[in-house]
Amino acid sequence: MSGKPVRPHTRLGKYELGKTIGEGSFAKVKFAKNVENGNHVAIKILDRSHVLSHKMTEQQLKKEISAMKIINHPNVVKIYEVMASKTKIYIVLELINGGELFDKIAQSGRLKEDEARSYFHQLINAVDYCHSRGVYHRDLKPENLLLDSNGVLKISDFGLSTYAQKEDELLRTACGTPNYVAPEVLNDRGYVGSTSDIWSCGVILFVLMAGYLPFDEPSQMALYKKICRAQFTCPSWFSSEAKKLLKRILDPNPLTRIKIPEILEDEWFRKGYKPAIFTEEEDVNVDDVAAAFNDSKETFVTETKEKPVSMNAFELISRSQSFNLENLFEKQTNGIVKRETSFTSQRPANEIMSKIEEAAKPLGFNVHKRNYKMKLQGDKSGRKGHLSVATEVFEVAPSLHMVELRKTGGDTLEFHKFYKIFSSGLQDVVWHSEAKI
């Protein structure tokens, strides 16, 4: 039976690249293994031409990556090194595998006030440190807040941050997710990075404790009006001290909005507060960042394909809980709503592709096919734009295929709802083992 060939391993210098674990407008993030020491990392891959087509110069990008690399804090995802090829920039990052903080909210609806405060402590510690180093995130939201295996918060994705030498220099790039951005950013009158980050922290704190957004309207115009007037109502279960702090953080006037030193002294904030304890690295070397952008062929790395060691397909299935349909679509691992999933099928690749298309179209998705890859694009705009899902079919044995699905755009909760319905249309092609895993 014909099908997609087994995927070979890709080597990038000392790293062996694995599956894609994230995708955005500027970059793709892949799981990777350092073959020299066995450590696992994440590698963010940026396409140079794509970045340039979005009006970001390589000089700007170099500046931003250098800013990210100098950040060394227990609550910020660490950059280990930067590499480049003629067409791509590779950023080697600390791998965080505890899921998004957003997943906890999606699972429980809301967090207890003490738990929310603990995460807020870590968030403020990290943001305060970043600001002290001249780095402003500008896209703080629950999806950019990850948890490590010990439940420690880590801020990710400083791709939109700007490295400004002067605090009074106004940043004029309106960016970020609308529900979380400060009024002055929406007004496009220039803004100070630190005060706009504080606003976003306030929205995050509200979401952690309420389980929903303080500002959420179906039309963008109505949403902007609510944000610019700071029209929000705290739920009855918020303590009076928490409400008082939120009113000071979600102040539409950036000049009178509370600053971080004042937050650190706030009565509600100080309950159970522990400052971050860590050793600062002296003189972080950013030579690799400079080398990545100097177009020197001597420092370029190349992606090379290597055939993997073959594994019996049934052994592969028995080792993976995710191949069981019940685990795949109904249950959640450790209470986390997944942004990606996979299943196996004994049907021909073309039949699988047709079935996916057949299941997606009635749900309002446009289907774009290329080879054994498909992009499902929602035709309705959700809370965070159009939901989009990438699917790919791999042959793991002559009579067995593996299908991967992952969210590439839109809201995580909407993706979760989508694949619950979508999965019922795939029952005919999913392979069920006789033994329950």
Tell me how far apart the alpha carbons of residues 104 and 151 are, in angstroms, rounded to a whole number.
11
3-state secondary structure of 409: strand
Q: Dihedral of CA 397/401/407/408: which sign? A: positive
Cα–Cα distance list, 255 to 35, 65, 134, 384 (Å): 51, 29, 19, 29
Is residue 141 within 8 A of residue 180, CB to CB? The reply is yes
Residue 321 DSSP class: G
HEC per residue, 97-126: CCCEHHHHHHHHCCCCHHHHHHHHHHHHHH
Give CA–CA dist 146/8, Å, rounded. 30
For residue 44, say whether it is annotated as part of any ligand binding site: yes
Which string of DSSP letters, residue by residue, matches 226-287? HHHHT-----TTS-HHHHHHHHHHS-S-TTTSPPHHHHHH-HHHHTT------PPPSS---H
Are 352 and 393 in contact by the 8 Å Cβ rule? The answer is: yes
Annotated active-site residue 139? The verdict is yes
Length of the chain in terms of residues written: 437
DSSP letter string over 351-373?
HHHHHHHHHHGGGTEEEEEETTE
- Sorted by sequence, the CB contacts under 8 Å of residue 93 that are 6+ apart come out as 29, 41, 42, 43, 44, 77, 78, 79, 80
Q: How far is Cα 139 from Cα 222, in angstroms, rounded to an integer? A: 21
Catalytic residue among 103, 139, 197, 288: 139
Known binding-site residues for ATP equal 44
Binding residues: 44
Q: Which residues are catalytic?
A: 139
